[in-house]
Amino acid sequence: MALFGNAHTIDSAAAQQDYARLLGRGEQVHAAFLLIRDTILFTDRRLILVDKQGITGKKTEYHSIPYRSITHFAVETAGTFDLDAELKIWVSGTPTPIQKTFTKGVDIYEVQAILTQFVAS
């Protein structure tokens, strides 16, 4: 499904090791998703979007969004004919949401629960 641009779950422990240089002291990855070459990390402190750019993917942008900057979010579950679930996140000062698409195999309710835990606290 990655060929269609949809995210799927990756092991959070592996993501913790792979992205250790991005994490602050004691920061823990709670969930991680892979979208072709890009990665979405939900840590206990922030949301990290890893955007590999260019043909080779050597150039990478790391976008860090503290949970306190998220004003609201929405999830759209997969349907019968539309097999993808979507996540939309609005960040303070930005009118357009960040949108990510997940395969039906991803528990979008888990994603929502993670955001609820950190954004609503």
The string of pLDDT tens digits covering residues 39-87 is: 899 999 999 999 888 777 678 999 999 999 999 999 888 765 556 788 8
Neighbour tally for 54: CB within 10 Å: 9
Q: Please state the rounded mean pLDDT for residues 17-26.
A: 95
Which residues 6+ apart lie within 8 Å of 39 measured at CB? 10, 15, 19, 32, 33, 48, 49, 50
pLDDT at 24 over 80: yes
Specify the pLDDT at position 3.
42
Look up the pTM and report it: 0.82
pLDDT at 1 over 60: no
Specify the pLDDT at position 112.
87
Percent of the chain scoring above 70 in pLDDT: 87
